[in-house]
Amino acid sequence: MPSSLFSVTTPGRICLFGEHQDYLGLPVIAAAISVHITIEAGYRDDAFIHISMPDIGKTEHFSINNAHTYVSTRDYLRSAVHVMKKYGFDLKNGINATVRGTIPINSGTSSSTALVVSWVKLIAAMSSRAENLSSALAAKYAHEAEVIEFNEPGGMMDHFSTAEGNVQFIEFEPLVKCSQLPFPKGTFVLGDSCEKKDTMGILKKVKMKMLEIQRVLQQNTPEFDLHKCSLIELKDFHKYLTDSEYELLEGTITNRDITAQVRSGLRKNSMNPADIGARLYEHQCILRDTLGISTPKIDRMLDAAMNAGALGGKINGSGGGGCMFAFVQENPEIVAESIIREGGIPYIVQICGGTELSVGE
pLDDT at 204: 74
User: Which SS3 state, helix, strand or coil, does residue 120 take?
Assistant: helix
Least confident of 8-12, 152-156, 160-164, 322-326: 152-156
pLDDT at 1: 63
Q: Provide CATH code, domain 188-349.
A: 3.30.70.890
pLDDT at 157: 92
Percent of the chain with pLDDT over 70: 99
Mean pLDDT of 90-94: 95
In angstroms, the CA 357 to CA 297 distance is: 38
End-to-end Cα distance, the chain: 13
DSSP tag of 91: -
Look up the pTM and report it: 0.92
The CATH classification of domain 5-182, taken from the options 3.30.565.10, 3.30.230.10, 1.10.3720.10, 3.30.430.20: 3.30.230.10
Which DSSP string corresponds to 21-77?
TGGGT--EEEEEEEEEEEEEEEE-SSSEEEEEETTTTEEEEEEGGGTTS-SSTT-HH
Residue 30 half-sphere exposure toward CB, CA atoms < 13 A: 36
Mean pLDDT of 64-93: 94
**Band of pLDDT at residue 251, cut at 50, 70 and 90:** very high
* Residue spans in the chain of domains classed CATH 3.30.230.10: 5-182
Does residue 190 carry a pLDDT above 70?
A: yes
In angstroms, the CA 316 to CA 318 distance is: 7
User: Which SS3 state, helix, strand or coil, does residue 253 take?
Assistant: helix
Quote the longest CA-to-CA distance of the chain.
Answer: 68
Contact 55, 104 (CB under 8 A): no
CA-to-CA dists, residue 271 to 33, 173, 182, 278, angstroms = 21, 26, 10, 11
> Directed axis angle between helix 111-126 and helix 135-146, to 10°?
120
pLDDT at 201: 76
Contact 326, 313 (CB under 8 A): yes
Does residue 2 carry a pLDDT above 80?
A: no
* Residue spans in the chain of domains classed CATH 3.30.70.890: 188-349
Mean pLDDT of 59-76: 93
